[in-house]
Amino acid sequence: MSTVTVRNVSKAFGDNVVLKEFNQTFADHEFITLLGPSGCGKTTMLRMIAGFEKPSSGEILIGDKVVSSDKVFLPPEKRDIGMVFQSYAVWPHMTVFENVAYPLRIKKMKREQADRDVERALEIVHLSQYRDRIPSQLSGGQQQRVALARALVAKPTLLLLDEPLSNLDAKLRESMRFEIKEIQKALGITVVYVTHDQTEAMAMSDRIILINRGVVQQVASPEEIYNRPVNQFVADFLGKVDFLRAEIRDGRAYLDGTGQSIPFSGDKMGRVELAVRPERISLSTESGDLSGTLESQYYLGDVNDCRVLVGEKRIRVVAPPESFARMKPGQQVYLTFREELAFDDDGSLDEKLKIVT
Amino acid sequence: MQENLTKRSSRDRRAERRCKLTLLAALALGAALIAGGLWGLEQFQASGFDQESGFAHVHDLAGPIDGLYEAGIKPLLSSLGAAQREVLDGKVNALLVSDWTENTGEDQTARVERTLSAYEGERRSRMQMELLSVSYAVSGPKVSTAQKKALAALDDGRRAALRAGLLAAIIDETAPLPAETAAGLEGLSGSERKAMLMQLFFTSVNSKNQPLPTAQINELKKSVRDGQARLSAFTWAAEGSVSWLRQVLVSGSRTAILAGILLAIDVALLTLLLYMDHHWEINFKWLAILAIIDFMLVFQVLPMAYLMIKAFFPEGSFTFEVFRRLYTYSMNLGAIRNTLIASTVTMVLGTLLAFPLAWLVGRTNMYGKKFFRFLFVLTYMVPPYVGAMAWLRLLNPNVGNINQVLRVLFALGDGPGPLNIYSLGGMIWVLTTFYYPYAFITISRAMEKMDPSLEEASRISGASPMMTVLKVTLPMMTPSLIAGALLVFVCAASCYGIPSIIGAPGKVHTVTTRIIEYNSLGGQGISDATGLAVFLMVIAIVILYVSDFVVAKRQYITVSGKSTRPNIVDLGRWRVPLTALVSLFAVLVILIPFATILFTSFKVDVGKLVMAPGNFTTRQWQTIFSRSETMECLKNSLIYSVIAATVGIVVACTMSYLLQRTRIKGRKLPDFLITLGSGTPSVVIALGLIMTMRGNFGVNIYNTAYIIIVAYLVKYLMMGMRTVVSAMSQIHVSLEESSQVSGASWTQTMFRITGPLIFPSIAAGWFLIFIPCFYELSMTTLLYSNSTKTIGYQLYEYWTYTSQPQACAMAFGILMIIVGLNFVLNKLTKGEFSI
């Protein structure tokens, strides 16, 4: 049973506050992702759970045990967790087997039992045939799997992963994503995963915690965070989005800089910012709510990625691939927003989207 | 929210309070030590001792005296009745008075009374007895050997009975004497008899007939000859058992003051750094930092500061007199001129040689690159004086082999010349051939680290390989070039081995040879040596500042974690000619000198060819291996350099941990001091240590092995430190963190992960300290004593006073040891490192 409870944790380095009042409970067997741009404080949070950093204030519990508070501080080696680092951190002077066996050797586990456990861990990550290699003879993906096996071998109930896939190439990253997810399901462990890659977060997580500038923006499932972002930053960070300033009047939204309007059925009034995702816009050569000019189109195989000028505004639209052959840049097209999100326009959009590193 | 963060937790507040209390306590202890030391110093000066060592022996005696009283005297005294005690006290007192009078030739009744007046009752009689025992141990009535033998044969029970009998005889003159002692007392009467009885009493305390340890008693006799001081010594020794604190403070007054001042400096420094850190917690990291700082303060900063002060305040008041005298004396001016010219020309020549060599070896497809690299770096490990000796044999104006060849080639007749090694030019030539590897190593390291894409970008922009070298490689190398050049300059300016062997016979003086000469004169010569040393010190500090803080800031080369393989320039049709040129250079500069040393070591007459009839001998080699003195020196060198290298590498590992793995504010300070130490010319370090380490500042290691080891550490610690630090910087922290998260403690992580990973560098760092210490000459020349001669100094002595072929045999032996060690290192680190 491994829940993680983080209460009012803040962290400052000198005068630089990197994490403010973090409050969350991660449930047993849950796959939690800490997502955010680099420098947002997500890695700091993970390292505080691991015990590599001391919180400036607040407390952290793993299970029922307080591991960090005003009075208590348990060093990493006493916390019984597994962790995988971005840089693999596979020890170059040991073989694959020795690397994976290390946590058990430290625990002084009986050799036979330990050897069995190591074999099993290597099987889980499909590395059994490489057990006697030294890390420099392995590819990046294999090294990453060694790190994973090492993190799992002592059967921790909590596994911390710090951008484990960011050094791998695209194809490998995708397959590792599934492997990690499968292993998590099979072993039933709690995983805290740090990444800046939104696709990774969407694909793996039960819940995503999106952080920016040390402040938690939204905590939700992938589906909810994508479809119902609580603010412009969340909408912008996950997926593609165009922001359009508009005035809501009489059930219609009058879009600034376009001279056109669209029907609007939400409950907002007055000045708003509409966020539209390119794949939620229908593009037609015949009719629609807005008319504009096709500026450019790129054939990407699964979609046709278009830019449409509506008045002064450039709107990105993801159209079906077949549309590529039917259209030419410069021709008139019509757009219909199938779905849009409206946020109150307080003039702070640019400030909100700014990423401070 | 901000307030919440700045409000510290109760844990931190408690730690802060504890930390501040500790600091205060340390400060108080420091103040107490200083005050106690000052008080002790005053007492010490009032005691009439003129040698501090006397006090050390007095201090050593306090324990045995105490033991003697407790075990041998007290039980007997307690068996006496009050009346008997009174009589005994009176007699012992009388003995004291008479003994002391004999020794000073004046009436001492009042003095004895004054000494004893501070004690009463039991403690008074104890004091009397102890005073008398130490007095008699130093110069009591002489017990005959026969008597001693008789006493030694007794068992413990009989011995106790004997002592009781003796005591009774002292108290009551009519009492019968124990049978065993009667023979020794014949013909004695009155106070002489009593004194003899007393001496027998003390002698019979144990079976060795030595109530007090002979060694310390002898030392005490030697160090306090004067009667007045001697009485003080007895008093102090006897009082030792009463007040050891007083004893410690007096005998170690200067050490106590030094410790107190160090403690105060530590506290001040720590307070400042903790204040800057906003984190009031003392842990072992701080203690490590402070320990290293303290070491450097005592053995480096103090001597240097003392030299500076002494140069301006030779008699205690400020004067330029020493400087005026030194720097107007034509011989010194000549020495300074020579030093500046030689160092500058060596710097220019060395760098001009090193850059093309580094480029050819590092970045082109020249043949035999690895071999040449090994050869050039090998020179780095050769003691400078060995090169000087070789070139002396080659370029001697009369019998130098090269001169002989040249005379034949150009039909110059039989006169001396054409080349003369005993000149400024000759010295520059040898300095260059010895010091260019310093620039070579600095430059080729930077060259190998350079990102190849920078040069590729130049090629793609249309530049030829040559153009690329001139427009991209060379400008990017400028900082390393300057750093390498300055290193050559400092080394050449502070070199002693080469000028002493080449310059001295040719009357070409340099600052270092002048310093050593002045120093050997003693007296005023020492302050003159100091004045000249300041010159070298200023040069070194200025250059150190320039190269570490000005040039380093302009360093363009960023070391990436990835190992980049520098791209190789194809030399095309120049490949063979350039290889030939470099080979010629290697033959001229390395092969011929080393061969000369080897051949000379087999010669009878150095002027003839080794193969000339009857000129070949292995006598020299037999001699050096069979001479016990040489072997003794070799042993000393090995021991000192092993100790220096081992202590040094421990410090180096600590420092690299502090520098690479902590964010503690003060970690740069010991780093700075260590760098400063390595930049200081050897003779300056040695001179400073001589002046300050003879007990006048609380540390007395003069004429011991310690002073040599300390000098080695100050000078060569940095070599090891840099190696370990750079290895540590390449170990990613996550390698250690993943061990910790696997459940390993800090110690386990250090021993199982970090240690094995940086082991090659630790081994290399150890050798980098060991090798220069092993053949060291400049510092040893000033610091050796008869029992602490090293192999380097022995070689120098042979060369100058005994036999050049023998010296050559030793030089070649040293060379073989160093090359052998390098081979071991290479094997030990699986080829990753050789120097």
User: Which tops the pLDDT comparison, A226 or B732?
Assistant: A226
Q: What is the CATH number of the domain that holds B644?
A: 1.10.3720.10
Nearest CA in chain B to A159: B741
- Is A106 close to B744, i.e. CB distance below 8 A? yes
CB proximity B742 to A under 8 Å: yes
| B562 in contact with A, Cβ within 8 Å | no
**The tokens of B384 are what?**
């400078």
Q: Which of B5, B742, B752 sits opposite A56 (nearest CB)?
A: B5
The Cα B117–Cα B108 span in angstroms is 14
**Model confidence pLDDT, tens digit, residues A34-87:** 999 888 889 999 999 998 888 989 999 999 899 998 888 888 888 888 999 888
Burial of B283 (C-beta count, 10 Å sphere; 0-12/13-18/19+): exposed
Cα A285 vs. chain centroid, distance in angstroms? Answer: 37
Pick the CATH number of A4-234 from 3.40.50.300, 3.40.50.2000, 3.30.70.360, 3.40.50.720: 3.40.50.300
DSSP string over A231-275: SHHHHHHSS--EEEEEEEETTEEEETTTTEEEE--SS--EEEEEE
From CA B689, how far away is CA B680, in angstroms rounded?
A: 13
Buried b (16+ CB within 10 A) or exposed e, A226-235: bbebebbbbb
- Tell me if A106 and B743 make a contact (CB, 8 A cut-off): yes
Assess whether B108 and B238 both reside in one domain.
Answer: yes
pTM of the model: 0.75
Amino acid identity at B698: G
Listing from the earlier edge strand, what are the strands of the sheet with A4-13? A16-26, A4-13, A57-62, A65-68
Q: Which residues in chain A touch residue B10, judged by CB atoms under 8 angstroms apart?
A: 70-71
- The region, left, alpha or beta by phi > 0 then psi within -120 to 50, assigned to residue B614 is left
B644/B544 same-domain check:
no
Residue type, B253: S
Mutate: best of B275, B742, B748, partner A, most A CBs <10 A: B742
Structural domain includes residue B689: no
Name, in order, each residue with C-beta under 8 angstroms of A348's C-beta and a sequence gap of 6 or more: none
Cα distances (angstroms) measured from residue B368 to each of A35, B439, B570, B827: 54, 21, 14, 21
* Between residues B279 and A355, the one the model is more confident about: B279
Spatial distance between the Cα atoms of B579 and B357, rounded to a whole number of angstroms: 11
Strands A190-195 and A31-35, sheet pairing: parallel
pLDDT recorded at residue B590: 84
What ipTM does this complex have? 0.78
SS3 string, A300-318, reads CCCCEEEEEEECCEEEEEE
Report yes or no: A91 at the B interface, CB cutoff 8 Å: yes
Residue A219 distance to chain B (closest CA, Å): 21
Sheet holding A332-337: strands in order across?
Answer: A281-284, A332-337, A290-299, A304-310, A313-319
Q: How far apart are CA B508 and CA B514, in angstroms?
A: 10
- Same domain, yes or no, for B607 and B646? no
Q: If 0-12 CB within 10 Å is exposed, 13-18 middle and 19+ buried, where does residue B429 land?
A: buried
Return the closest-CA partner of residue A94 out of A139, A131, A149: A131
A89 in contact with chain B, both atoms CB, cutoff 8 A: yes
Q: Are B744 and A102 in contact (CB < 8 Å)?
A: yes
* pLDDT at residue A355 tops 90: no
pLDDT score for B350: 93
Distance of alpha carbon A5 from alpha carbon A22, whole angstroms: 10
Determine whether the interchain pair A70/B10 forms a contact, defined as Cβ–Cβ distance below 8 Å: yes
| Domain finish residue from B203, B234, B253 | B253
Three-state secondary-structure class, residue B421: coil
Joined tokens for residue B102 = 């004999």
pLDDT at res. B5: 46
Residue B258 lies in a domain: no
The arrangement of secondary structure in A240-353, i.e. its CATH architecture, is Beta Barrel (2.40)
Closest listed residue to residue B811, CA positions, set B596, B589, B605? B596
B556: Cβ–Cβ under 8 A, 6 or more apart, which residues?
B476, B479
A74 interaction partners in chain B (CB closer than 8 Å): none
How many domains are there within chain B? Answer: 3
Q: Is some CB atom of chain B closer than 8 A to the CB atom of A82?
A: yes
Q: Is A134 exposed, middle or buried (0-12, 13-18, 19+ CB in 10 A)?
A: middle
**Domain end (from B588, B611, B634):** B611
Same-domain check for residues B572 and B637: no
Any long-range contacts for A214-220 (C-beta under 8 Å, 24+ apart)? A214/A17, A214/A18, A214/A19, A214/A20, A214/A40, A214/A41, A215/A20, A216/A22, A216/A23, A216/A24, A217/A36, A219/A24
Residue with tokens 């696997």: B742
- Measured over the CA atoms of residue B131, residue B133, residue B136 and residue B138, the dihedral's sign is negative
Query: Which residues does chain B have with pLDDT short of 50?
Result: 1-6, 557-564
Domain(s) of CATH 2.40.50.100: residues in chain A:
240-353
**B234 shares its domain with B372:** no
Same domain, B520 and B495: yes
Backbone phi, then psi, for B680, in 5-degree steps?
-75, 135
Residues B255 and B263 sit within 8 Å (Cβ to Cβ): no
Cis peptide before B418, with omega less than 30 degrees from 0?
yes
Write the DSSP symbol of residue A5.
Answer: E
**What's the sign of the alpha-carbon dihedral B593, B597, B600, B602?**
negative
**What proportion of chain A, given as a percentage, has pLDDT over 70?**
97
Q: Tell which of B197, B218, B253 closes a domain.
A: B253
What's at B219, amino acid-wise?
A: E
Residues B447 and B514 in one domain: yes
Token pair belonging to B292: 């290293």
Domain that holds residue B410: 322-611
For residue B559, the model assigns a pLDDT of 38
Residues B225 and B355 in one domain: no
Q: A186 or B151: which carries more pLDDT confidence?
A: A186
- Residue pointed to by tokens 């009467």: B189
Q: Dihedral (C-alpha) A126, A130, A133, A136: value to the nearest 10 degrees? A: -40
Task: Count CA atoms within 13 Å of residue A336 on its CB side.
Answer: 8
CA-based nearest residue in chain B for residue A102: B742
* Chain position carrying tokens 């004695």: B188
Please list every residue in chain B whose beta carbon sits closer than 8 Å to the beta carbon of residue A53: none
B631 and B527 in one domain?
Answer: no
Check if B757 contacts A (Cβ < 8 Å). yes
Pairing of strands A313-319, A158-162: unpaired
Give a yes or no: residue B263 inside a domain. Answer: no
Picking from A264, A259, A261, the residue whose alpha carbon sits closest to that of residue A288 is A261
Which A residues in the span 129-168 are in contact with B, Cβ-Cβ below 8 Å? 147, 150-151, 154, 160
Question: What is the rounded distance in angstroms from the CA atom of residue B733 to the CA atom of residue A349?
Answer: 39
Rg (CA), chain B: 34
- For residue A330, what are the CA distances in angstroms to A220, A285, A296, B18, B295? 41, 12, 8, 76, 80
A163, A195 Cβ separation under 8 angstroms:
yes
Q: Are residues B76 and B119 in the same domain?
A: yes
Closest residue in B to A156 (Cα) is: B742
Q: Tell me, what's the pLDDT at A319?
A: 92
Say which of B1, B752, B757 has its CB closest to residue A21. B1
B752 interaction partners in chain A (CB closer than 8 Å): 102
Q: How far apart (Å, rounded) are the C-alpha atoms in residues B223 and B102?
A: 19
DSSP class of residue B252 equals T
Same domain, B191 and B118: yes
A-chain residues within 8 Å CB-CB of B757?
91-93
Q: Is B747 on the interface with A (CB under 8 A)?
A: no
How far apart CA A149 and CA A130 sit, in angstroms, is 12
In a 3-state reduction of DSSP, which class is residue B358?
Answer: helix
- Whether residue A70 contacts residue B11, with contact meaning beta carbons closer than 8 Å, is answered with yes
Higher pLDDT pick, A348 / B440: B440
Query: In terms of Cα–Cα distance, which of B57, B357, B76 is closest to B221?
Result: B57
Whether the Cβ atoms of residue A201 and residue A225 lie closer than 8 Å to each other: no
